[in-house]
């Protein structure tokens, strides 16, 4: 039973470590954008708006990974479900901007240009080193551990009723 709790805590530590490194990776292009705003490019007229929107979504998802990591470390109820939902949302968000690259009037080109720099932080959690490996493995680990802990808890409750 303690091994399943340890598994949840390991996923929590990985969430915290990868999200912390992701925050660092996100800070570099953000500070660069603040210090040296890009010149207007007629092929990418909405680049600043796309960059700041994607950076804000990235920071929100990184903050959510930190919160869920703490929930997993504390073995909070609902942490496994939160990790599952967050990993799915992050994976969908990793794919979504690429589907918008074909939009007309410079919108798609602006999103494509911003995708390379605005999503560095979340890329560590979703794409690196093998695309979608960490989300899939973390979902499997937390849900198996949740199931095993729930099963062990119900067996302990049934034994306690008869003793």
**d(C-alpha 84, C-alpha 57), whole Å:** 18
What is the pTM (predicted TM-score) of this model? 0.89
Residues in the chain: 163
Residue 74's pLDDT band (cuts 50, 70, 90): very high
Provide the pLDDT confidence category of residue 49 given band limits of 50, 70 and 90: very high
Compute the CA torsion angle 153, 155, 156, 162 (nearest 10 deg): 150
pLDDT band of 161, cuts 50, 70, 90? very low
Domain borders along the chain are 2-162
Q: What tens digit of pLDDT does each residue of 23-43 get?
A: 999 999 999 999 998 888 888
């Amino acid at each position: 039973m303690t091994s399943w709790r340890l598994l949840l805590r390991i996923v929590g530590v990985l969430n915290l470590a990868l999200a912390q490194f992701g925050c660092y990776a996100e800070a570099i292009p953000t500070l660069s954008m603040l210090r040296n705003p890009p010149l207007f490019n007629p092929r990418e007229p909405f680049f600043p708006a796309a960059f700041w929107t994607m950076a804000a979504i990235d920071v929100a998802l990184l903050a959510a990974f930190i919160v869920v990591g703490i929930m997993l470390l504390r073995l909070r109820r609902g942490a496994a479900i939160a990790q599952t939902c967050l990993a799915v949302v992050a994976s969908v968000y990793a794919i979504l901007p690429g589907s918008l690259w074909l939009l007309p009037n410079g919108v798609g080109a602006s999103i494509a240009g911003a995708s390379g720099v605005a999503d560095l932080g979340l890329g560590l959690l979703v794409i690196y080193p093998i695309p979608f490996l960490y989300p899939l493995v973390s979902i499997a680990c937390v849900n198996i551990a949740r199931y095993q802990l729930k099963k062990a808890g119900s067996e302990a409750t049934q034994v306690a009723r008869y003793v």
